[in-house]
Structure 1
């Protein structure tokens, strides 16, 4: 969980106080300001309150772009962390109210039940028998399939590294090798399919890294899919994940890759993207990445085809649009949130890129 979303001691104290006076069979349905939902159950021994069990976080609705915008605005979170927040919330389970009630009932009964010591048991280990003739036959029959699979992986990684969605769609239409590989664990097809997805997640992460995706984005996407893979409960969902993983890495490279830039410009772009809400000047950025300001300015315009300030303003306008569409906070607050310290300047910059003022944009969004 991102540090900014972690519970404070005050929250735990409030939960503790509420459960101390509750009945033993009560459970608390708690939602914090970040929209994270929890089931909390008090633990008692011999009618004495000992503490509580907190289960979560989970969500009761799909975290779309508007959801993330509201979380950022409500909690004054840095707008540059939108991507990381989006990846975190997507990793959470979305459950219905009936399921959350059932979960609460289950935990209440577990906490009321006397403790019972458990004991682990293991099945007898069966050693595999190596049949050389059978192995040679299998290798000969599967040679073509194996060669196709590795060629498929190579082309797939190249397409992801380029952020080439057109080529990626073409490759996927030709056949997904991961869905055609025989079970590595025959007695557990779901575990076998999950293992292949873990491999796919790693391959896509490596490809995206080659494509110039920043480690911050790589880590959040990779971690989310690792969690999602383990939570998958059936083969149809696992099969769908094949395509979701591949496409999302490709889209991330397309949106955030700095591969085409020199090291200097790449460092500047990464710094801007990860600090959008802070004061950003050419001098400060140059000092942070240890280059001459004039040299950085010249290289940036040459490679990005716009000045650094134009790039910063364009990014800030795109972020401001997401909050203006919601219409829940003032235009002034949005201006400061995305890094502008002057409302009039924000209005001029916004009009330059959108051909309308922020107020007109809000009016159009409502209509």
Structure 2
């Protein structure tokens, strides 16, 4: 099958398969009309993020206006990023390759808050969206620029099929002296990890960012010296990073954070760690991991409550943007509503309604701080169906109205800028 003219369809399919295999990024091959000729897709975009119109046609129009040696980096309103590369021969445009979506933001939690606020998305969709964004490939600016340049070069001429030759020569055995040094270095790393493990576990379980950051600072300083392990500084640092990711996940789970919040974030950081190429990238990941896991503990920890109340809290936190009543929650977790009400008050010091309102106000404050949505939109996003009731509850909890809160935050931002 041909794209058009002298272009062999299978050549560009080969390019798409190769790039997908190396980068794990979704990739599509389109003809000049925007029709999809081939695709390798691992990430299916949630319905709430779909945009009207044919994205491929829009991309082709932009690529058609660019020179042949250019690629187009596109970021849509939902923060999803794409690379589009035109297929040219001389002055003729024959189609395009579209790679994405991916993200370049390390903190999905912060990114998602902005996206929900900017696009007025219902907060009830956040869990599904968080799982989707956590699953996306994450590339630094340098990395996605390199992918763009690679695609430009691959598409700029006829595909060259290569042969392979391997010497099959085994690596020489490690010298005894070097092996001893490596073992001693590994022993030192292990001793260091276990020395800090209990302190880190306790701090993360409490969501104590200050203490966690203090401990991380000493760990990242140590990681910077991991090049003392001969021949494997990055590998040694990655091993420590994997341990830290696991440590964070176990500690957060110990605090009562539901596994649904932990699975994707843990997997995503594991991928980011493996893809890191410098010690500075790994040090930055330490800080981002600590912040995100502590945020999860601060927001979703329920481990210090009785099983009944923990189940109720998990249900509330997973469905905060939807309708929530004592009867509905009791039915969902199969308990008597009166018994749940008494136990909930005993464990938390709040009624079920007071807890729901407090959590919704906490969410509302995050969106109001960003200033992307009206107060009415924020009220509906976090589960309030009545603006006057939202204002009343907000003032009761924060001692100010939502509009006063927005004004004060705006003044603080101006004073700090």
Structure 1 window deviating more from structure 2 (220-229 vs 17-26): it is 17-26
Which moves more between the two structures, 45-54 or 185-194? Answer: 45-54
| Count of equivalent residues | 363
Structure 1 pair 137–257 and aligned structure 2 pair: CA distance change class (3 A):
same
Q: Give, in angstroms, the shift of residue 56 of structure 1.
A: 4.7
The Cα shift of 1:355 comes to 2.0
Aligned to 2:405: 361
Q: Per-residue deviation at 1:175?
A: 5.8
Residues 26-41 of structure 1 correspond to what in structure 2 (within 5 A)? 27-41=71-85
Taking structure 2 as the reference length, the TM-score comes to 0.71
**Does 2:385 align with 1:341?**
yes
2:61 counterpart residue number? 18
Q: SS of the counterpart of 1:325?
A: helix
- Contact 2:185–2:229 (8 Å) recurs in 1: no
Report how far residue 323 of structure 1 moved.
2.6
Q: How far apart are residue 72 of structure 1 and its match?
A: 0.9
Supply the distance in 1 between the matched residues of 2:243 and 2:236 (Cα, whole angstroms).
Answer: 11
| Larger displacement relative to structure 2 (79-88 or 335-344) | 79-88
Provide the TM-score with structure 1 as the length reference.
0.79
Q: Contact between 1:35 and 1:59, CA under 8 Å: does it hold in 2?
A: no
| Structure 2 counterparts to residues 1-367 of structure 1, below 5 A | 3-4=45-46, 10-15=53-58, 18=61, 25=68, 27-43=71-87, 49-59=94-104, 65=110, 68-80=112-124, 88=133, 92-95=138-141, 104-120=148-164, 122=166, 124-126=169-171, 128=173, 146-147=190-191, 149-165=193-209, 168=212, 171=215, 179=223, 186-246=230-290, 248-367=292-411
Deviation per residue, 1:176-220 (Å, 9 max, x gap): 797389679843432332233123212321222222121122123
Structure 1 residues 295 and 345: alpha-carbon distance in aligned structure 2, compared to 1, 3 A threshold = same
The answer to whether the Cα contact below 8 Å between 1:185 and 1:191 also exists between their aligned partners in 2 is: no
If asked which structure has higher relative contact order (CA below 8 Å, sep 6+), I would say 1
Secondary structure of 2:159's aligned partner: coil
Distance 1:243 1:366 in 2: 28
Q: In the alignment, is the contact (CA less than 8 A) between 1:149 and 1:177 conserved in 2?
A: no
Indicate if the aligned counterparts of 1:201 and 1:245 stay in contact, CA closer than 8 A: yes
5+ residue gaps, structure 2: 1-42, 412-417
More moved, 153-162 vs 335-344: 153-162
SS at match of 2:141: coil
Moved more, 292-301 or 191-200: 191-200
Assess if the C-alpha contact under 8 Å between 1:62 and 1:94 holds in 2: no
Structure 1 contact 160–250 (Cα < 8 Å) conserved: yes
Bigger CA drift: 207-216 or 116-125?
116-125
The structure-2 alpha-carbon separation of the partners of 1:186 and 1:355, relative to structure 1 and needing over 3 Å to count, comes to same
The answer to whether the Cα contact below 8 Å between 2:223 and 2:279 also exists between their aligned partners in 1 is: no
The structure-2 alpha-carbon separation of the partners of 1:55 and 1:211, relative to structure 1 and needing over 3 Å to count, comes to: same
Superposition RMSD in Å: 4.1
SS at structure 1 position matched to 2:102: strand
1:53 Cα deviation from its structure 2 partner: 3.1
For residues 101 and 280 of structure 1, do their structure 2 counterparts lie closer, same or farther at Cα, with a shift above 3 Å needed? same
**Change in 2 beyond 3 A, CA 1:6/1:45:** farther
State how far apart, in whole Å, the 2-side matches of 1:134 and 1:191 are: 16
